[in-house]
Amino acid sequence: IHPYDKALTEKKPLDSFIKTFKDQGFVTGHSSDFCQMNPLDIGRAKYIRDIPFDHEAVSIACEPHYHDPSSPYGLFRGPYSAMRRCLYGKDMYEHVIDYGNQFWRTYKDQKKLMYMDFLDAHEGTNEVVKYADDALYKLLTGLQSDGLLEDTSVVLYADHGLHMQGIFQLLQFDQPEIEKY
């Protein structure tokens, strides 16, 4: 359903995809590198019923040394920073991956959905995201070599492309808004 679909209303919100998995007996998990409980919490989120995951690791992304609630879109600190994002001696993506790996192994014999959020590519230099490549590779090859990816689908998708909002919004281009959704 497109975010601008006229059939969407606040009075009749849609069920989140999370509910579909839970109804089918999946254990659900979520880890994130940004301080936001609902991964669907975007401009049109009021049209989607919030369904909590069974297990969540989001609180580290809300840590004041990383996330400044008074300036959440800062260029030098937090999930939108153009600088490498580290906390407690690790890149933020490592905290997300470590939790995902632990979740996957804890529920190795059960149906599961692990949703991991990474905002590493959400900045204009395209430098920050490259650090996560090796860690994601190690996670997936480790799970595969331990036989934990049988009957499994791994879905990787991007947030909204390689645009920076500022100048594009000032010039009132449509593309940034389209890419967000």
pLDDT of residue 55: 95
Q: Could you give the CA distance from residue 92 to residue 150 in angstroms, rounded to a whole number?
A: 28
pLDDT of residue 80: 79
Task: Find how far residue 79's CA is from the centre of its chain.
Answer: 11
The low-confidence residues of the chain, meaning pLDDT below 70, are: 1-4, 39-45, 124, 157-170, 172-173, 175-181
pLDDT of residue 5: 75
Per DSSP, the three-state class of 146 is coil
Identify which of 118, 108, 128 has the alpha carbon closest to the alpha carbon of residue 156. 118
- Token pair of 52 as six digits: 């909590």
Sorted by sequence, the CB contacts under 8 Å of residue 110 that are 6+ apart come out as: 26, 27
Q: Which amino acid is at 82?
A: A
